[in-house]
Structure 1
Amino acid sequence: MKLIKFLPLALLFMVASCSSVKVATDYDTKADFSQYKTFAFYKKGVDKVDISDLDKRRILRAIESELLAQGMTKSENPDVIVNIFAKSSKKINIYNDYNYFWRPWYYGPNFGTHISQYNEGTLFIDLIDNQKKELVWQGIGRGALTMNNVEKKEARIKEFVGEIMAKYPPFEK
């Protein structure tokens, strides 16, 4: 009976773990992040990213939204230049399943190998000091991609960017 009570909770954790974004950041410890008030996107760098133009625009809108929410403003003469890089790879999970279950003609162990395949994406967001022309902060997010429909893809991109940008600026959180 206790198992039945905790089953929905276990399923929630399984779904949540599948949708999580693993984030890592790196930054220049000597940079004064409080001086960065304005930003712009590095068009030449963004144009080189090998993803669809639709996904590029989704990513850029999400980054812009996050930076604006942090009090920064978009500018023609920015303090930091934002560049992105994205890549994806196919991942395969193989696991063995051993359980007991009942069928009308049989009760006993069930052995099976299950294989699942998914796409994993990695998004790099670079912030470059415009005056020094040096990378000052980099956020990297990695997780499963959603390709089924536009709304889910849009939400997943916002989740990726939101998780990454939650780590910027590095000292204030």
Structure 2
Amino acid sequence: MKIFKLVPLFAILVLASCSSVRVTTDYDREANFNDFGSFAFFKPGIDKAKISDLDKRRVLRAIDGELSAKGMVKSETPDLLISIFTKESERVDVYNNNFGWGRGAWGWGTGFGWGGNWGNTVSKSTEGTLYIDLIDAKTQELVWQGVGRSSLYRGSNIDKKEEKIKCIVSEILMEYPPNQVK
């Protein structure tokens, strides 16, 4: 019975962690996304992704799950080829802390009051970027690209790592297919 109380808490934590994914997409306006019902992974492109083979498999499983949930099927003769690309960069955030008690030169007497500059806080983190490219198998042209940026999980908990990857892939593919007006 206690497990059911934890499920909503876990869902909130997962959704909160997904909110930190920043997604952008681009697509070919001439492509008819209704024509794409099957997919396969484009091995030459995937082999170039600069992540471990374990993480590649995690990303591909997550993509497979998301596309299958959208009604697409994996095929030997696909409509779309799926490729991925990754980048990693250092993110630096500087926070100005201009508040607190301090000693000033205003007024009469000692000059104590609000104000002062207590310095800056610098926060560094590693940010990963995952590109998911959907290529028309017939024309070999890129028809859709989704990009997700998020801080990377560096711990050794495999469940957390898989959940983070699923979250990033889910947020990116939430934008596919695009809402196109023809």
1:145 Cα deviation after fit: 1.3
**Structure-2 residue corresponding to 1:160:** 168
Kindly indicate whether the alpha-carbon contact (under 8 Å) linking 1:20 and 1:143 is maintained by their aligned counterparts in 2.
yes
Letter in 1 for 2:160: K
CA distance in 1, matches of 2:97, 2:124: 17
**Greater strand share, 1 or 2?**
1
Q: Are 1:117 and 2:124 matched, yes or no? A: yes
- TM-score, normalization: structure 1? 0.81
1:4 paired residue number: none
One-letter code aligned to 1:168: Y
Q: Name the counterpart of 1:82.
A: 82
- Following the alignment from structure 1 to structure 2, what is the Cα–Cα distance between the partners of residues 72 and 123? 21
SS at structure 2 position matched to 1:157: helix
Which secondary structure state, in structure 1, belongs to the residue aligned with residue 164 of structure 2? helix
Shift of 1:140: 0.7
1:143 paired residue among 133, 139, 150: 150
> How big is the alpha-carbon RMSD for the aligned residues of Structure 1 and Structure 2?
2.4
Gaps spanning 5+ residues in structure 1: where? 1-11, 102-106
CA distance in 1, matches of 2:120, 2:141: 49
Question: How far is 1:108 from its partner?
Answer: 6.9
Give me the whole-angstrom Cα distance separating, in 1, the residues matched to 2:143 and 2:100.
55
Provide the residue aligned with 2:38 in structure 1. 38
1:12-51 equivalences in 2 (<5 Å): 16=16, 20-51=20-51
Q: Identity percentage over the alignment? A: 53
CA distance in 1, matches of 2:142, 2:118: 52
Unaligned stretches of 5+ residues in structure 2? 1-11, 102-112
Work out which of the residue numbers 152, 171, 177 in structure 2 matches 1:169. Answer: 177
1:111-169 CA distances to partner (integer Å, 9 max, x unpaired)? 13212110111110000110111111111111211112322221111111001100000
1-structure distance, mates of 2:153, 2:98 = 29
SS of residue paired to 1:67: helix
Pairwise mapping of residues 44-123 of structure 1 onto structure 2 (< 5 A)?
44-100=44-100, 111-123=118-130
Matches of 1:112 and 1:69, distance apart in 2: 50
